[in-house]
Amino acid sequence: MSTQDAHELKLYSPPEAAVKGAHVSGMEAYKKLEAEAEADYQGYWARLAREFLTWKQPFTKVLNESDAPFFKWFEDGKLNVSYNCLDRNVERGLGDKTAIIFETDDGKVSRVSYKELLSRTSQLANALKAQGVKKGDRVVIYMPMSVEGVVAMQACARIGATHSVVFGGFSAQSLRDRIEDAGAVMVITADEQMRGGKALPLKSIVDEALSLGGCDSIRNVIVYQRTGGKVAWNSAHDKWLHEVVASQPATCEPEWVEAEHPLFLLYTSGSTGKPKGVQHATGGYLLHAALTTKWTFDLKDDDVFWCTADIGWVTGHTYITYGPLALGGTEVVFEGIPTYPDAGRFWKMIQDHKVTIFYTAPTAIRSLIKAAETNPAVHPKNYDLSSLRLLGSVGEPINPAAWEWYHQNIGGGRCPIVDTWWQTETGGHMITPLPGATPLVPGSCTLPFPGITAAIVDETGHDVPNGQGGILVVKKPWPSMIRTIWGDPERFKKSYYPPELKGYYLAGDGASRDAERGYFTITGRIDDVLNVSGHRMGTMEIESALVSCTELVAEAAVVGRPDETTGEAICAFVVLKRPRPTGEEARKIAAELRNWVAKEIGPIAKPKDIRFGDNLPKTRSGKIMRRLLRSIAKGEQITQDTSTLENPAILDQLAQTN
Ligand code: PRX
């Protein structure tokens, strides 16, 4: 790959091999698509929706803006997602093609063909119907990474049930909250999940969630037997998955749903309140899932695609369960973790399965860099990674040093890296290089996906010139956008369409564009949302969890600080109901509070630092001064004006680590 200096930034032009035969080949092809979308926005998306999806009833209306910002796409069309991902491929002659290469935590490999995936999905779909699940019902999926997890999602889609996958690392309390908010009729789970050689409970967490109350809508719990570990059984509503599917036929007529029918809810954190149920529609979402998989990953028939995300996050939805299958691709699904049995696991799996396209998060890359530096045995140079032709990054900014390492050590200097910026709410890639077209700059997600009107504006919605930072927005609605927040349309409007932004979608990120190329660089969230290892968390959620420990905690404030490995780390400032602890006592209470947060939300929300104070820095009107806390968390000298602070002495106290 050729490199040259563009000011101090390195520029990597797409290598010949990536340009040749690419679905979007060369910058001219990219510009042509952009021009097509600009000239006839609706015509562009309609063309693609007809090309990429099979419609039972073709749409005649493209975009309905009459109730903005509640936009509708392809609203009079009907289709079925699981038909598009499975039956259609079998009908095209791909029945025997491997859809999924599944590898368990302990390295057992199985392959599932499209034909088999279709019959397993149909059987489960029939079983769900037999349990009384109907179109529009919500089904919570709390599953390990598994073929069954993908099948459960596809089976819901097949019968028009709206799934809500909850990441298997969330606590009983978080699971309960999501079940209640969604009003789910069923939970599909597993006895246990295997991660890093350990069996971790799932079913017993479901039991606990249900026992916390508020889950009266649940009629059944379907349990996939993954480990055979012991589980408590409530015969009134618990059923084994293998038993409920055993008597079901392997064919099931898909439920043809309206394009706007809710395909799924996925809960994610915002700056205020409890996690919100991001609602996605069927037609527009699937279009963008398929389209971005094809263009961003340049997916071809003989590729082996591997997205390392969990199906509990949006990346796993779009780039495991839906996008690659909608295109008839072959993908790897992995149950385990990157560091088991050692930190060479990813590289070994790329070698074993001859993975051609690899998509992971910067946090994983950074932690594997560290591992390779400390243990030469797991350095990627020990593995044959020559099958790779394309790499991807998602979830958080990738720092140029990690980018360069990924490019050299994993991509052998020959594989483009697509740094894809998007969100749970956007359904699929929004700003990303296209590997056969876009010259790359490490650390930049480069240019909008063709047809996506991403822009940077100031607080009044006016464009800011390139070279300056501002607020990242999307000017026009796009097919795979969030439709609403489940049960809270007002919150949807308030969060994403604030009146001062002239009807633009507010992403919640800050960004800048460079003066020369207009390339985007994401500078991070501009709200009270943290991004820890690519996991999104609201500071308020963690604060609520801390103060719910009413025995100990009087007050808490949570901020993020930069972290070399996890991107951001959670830092909590806590005022206890007892005198401020120091030394060993402080460490003991901090450990207790960390476990408390893990129990309330999940281990991913555990604060890395907990500092204790007699009180928190507040203005005279009682507002916590978070910007000061952010500086303290970073270990910075306070240079800001502290004259409005009621109790300036507190700053020194909070600066002390335990
Ligand atoms: O801050 C941005 C960051 O992750 C947020 C979205 O998180 P979530 O909804 O959990 O979805 C993650 C997977 C798509 C964004 O608001 N983010 C995501 N991708 C990038 C990123 N930040 C910088 N560069 C990226 N490529």
Atom 24 of ligand 1, residue of closest alpha carbon:
397
Question: Which distant-in-sequence residues (6+ apart) come within 8 Å of 130 by Cβ?
Answer: 244, 248
d(C-alpha 420, C-alpha 413), whole Å: 19
Atom 5 of ligand 1, residue of closest alpha carbon:
423
For residue 69, whether the previous peptide bond is cis, meaning omega lies within 30 degrees of 0, is yes
- The per-residue pLDDT for 621 is 86
pLDDT in tens, 540-561: 999 999 999 999 999 999 999 9
423 lines ligand 1 (CB under 6 A): yes
| Alpha helical stretches, state H, 20-108 | 27-39, 41-52, 81-82, 88-89
Confidence of residue 658 (pLDDT cuts 50, 70, 90): low
CA angle at residue 290 from 285 to 293, to 5 degrees?
120
CA-wise closest residue to 409 among 346, 352, 353, 482: 346
CA of 358 to the centre of ligand 1 (A): 18
d(C-alpha 244, C-alpha 237), whole Å: 12
- The per-residue pLDDT for 288 is 99
- The per-residue pLDDT for 622 is 87
pLDDT in tens, 156-180: 999 999 999 999 999 999 999 999 9
Looking from the CA of residue 536, the nearest atom of ligand 1 is 10
- The per-residue pLDDT for 369 is 97
Average pLDDT, the chain: 96
445 lines ligand 1 (CB under 6 A): yes
395 lines ligand 1 (CB under 6 A): yes
Express the helix, strand and coil content of the chain in percent, nearest 5 each. 35, 25, 40
Q: Which helix (H) or strand (E) is 474 found in, with range? A: strand 469-474
Query: Ligand 1, from 276, 292, 293, 423: best to mutate by most atoms within 8 Å of Cβ?
Result: 423
146 lines ligand 1 (CB under 6 A): no
Examine the pLDDT at 8 and tell me if it is beyond 60: no
pLDDT in tens, 471-502: 999 999 999 999 999 999 999 999 999 999 99
Judging by beta carbons within 10 Å of its beta carbon (0-12, 13-18, 19+), is residue 189 exposed, middle or buried?
Answer: buried
Query: Ligand 1, from 167, 264, 509: best to mutate by most atoms within 8 Å of Cβ?
Result: 509
CA of 355 to the centre of ligand 1 (A): 24
Contact 30, 439 (CB under 8 A): no
536 lines ligand 1 (CB under 6 A): yes
Judging by beta carbons within 10 Å of its beta carbon (0-12, 13-18, 19+), is residue 219 exposed, middle or buried?
Answer: middle
CA-wise closest residue to 350 among 314, 304, 381: 304
Question: Which distant-in-sequence residues (6+ apart) come within 8 Å of 161 by Cβ?
Answer: 128, 133, 134, 135, 136, 137, 138, 139
d(C-alpha 529, C-alpha 261), whole Å: 29
CA of 474 to the centre of ligand 1 (A): 15
99 lines ligand 1 (CB under 6 A): no
**Cross-strand bridge partners of residue 505:** 474
Ramachandran angles phi, psi of 26, nearest 5°: 90, 155
CA of 185 to the centre of ligand 1 (A): 31
CA of 313 to the centre of ligand 1 (A): 11
pLDDT in tens, 35-78: 999 999 999 999 999 999 999 999 999 999 999 999 999 999 99
Percentage, residues of the chain above pLDDT 90:
93
Examine the pLDDT at 509 and tell me if it is beyond 80: yes
Atom 8 of ligand 1, residue of closest alpha carbon:
423
CA of 250 to the centre of ligand 1 (A): 38
| Alpha helical stretches, state H, 497-649 | 539-547, 583-600, 626-634
CA of 536 to the centre of ligand 1 (A): 8
Tokens of 577: 């109901």
Could you say which DSSP state residue 32 is in?
A: H
CA Rg value for the chain: 24
- DSSP letter string, 588-632: HHHHHHHHHHHHHT-GGG--SEEEE-SS--BBTTS-B-HHHHHHH
Average pLDDT of the residues in 435-455: 98
Confidence of residue 2 (pLDDT cuts 50, 70, 90): very low
Confidence of residue 425 (pLDDT cuts 50, 70, 90): very high
d(C-alpha 521, C-alpha 153), whole Å: 34
Angstrom distances, CA of residue 168 to CA of 217, 245, 387, 432, 568: 21, 23, 31, 29, 22
Which range has the top average pLDDT, 3-17, 567-581, 644-658? Answer: 567-581
d(C-alpha 461, C-alpha 201), whole Å: 48
- The per-residue pLDDT for 1 is 40
Examine the pLDDT at 3 and tell me if it is beyond 60: no
Atom 7 of ligand 1, residue of closest alpha carbon:
423
- Secondary structure of residue 465 in the 3-state scheme: coil
Examine the pLDDT at 7 and tell me if it is beyond 90: no
Atom 25 of ligand 1, residue of closest alpha carbon:
421
421 lines ligand 1 (CB under 6 A): yes
